Amino acid sequence: MAVAEFLKGLPSFDENNFTKFHVDANNRSPLKRPSVYVPTKDFPSEQVIVTEKTNILLRYLHHHWEKKKKRDHTAAEIEEQIQVRKRARIDYNTP
């Protein structure tokens, strides 16, 4: 495909944009600088970005401890169940 094909149909937000661009003979841009914004009104921030202070390792350990606790808990429960079942079995096997 030719390059011309690539360049067809370039996106347009407003088709008038750049249509009246004046090309200076010297390609010199007029001295135009934006005025400086000097804010004097105070707008309170809606939100404040805060960095989580917890050390990443501590958070990791904490997280895993929680998980482990949960797992231990469930494991214990399962064990309990097993024990119960075992006991039941023992009971069952008990003459």
Interatomic CA distance for residues 85 and 25, integer angstroms: 95
Provide CB contacts within 8 A for 30, sequence distance 6+: 24
Report the distance separating Cα 85 and Cα 93, nearest Å: 12
Q: Which stretch binds another protein (CB under 8 A): 53-61, 76-84, 86-94?
A: 53-61
CB of 78 to another protein, least distance (A): 24
Task: Kindly tell me which of 11 and 95 has the beta carbon lying closer to another protein.
Answer: 11
At its nearest, how many Å lie between another protein and the CB of residue 81?
28
Nearer to another protein, 28 or 93 (CB): 28
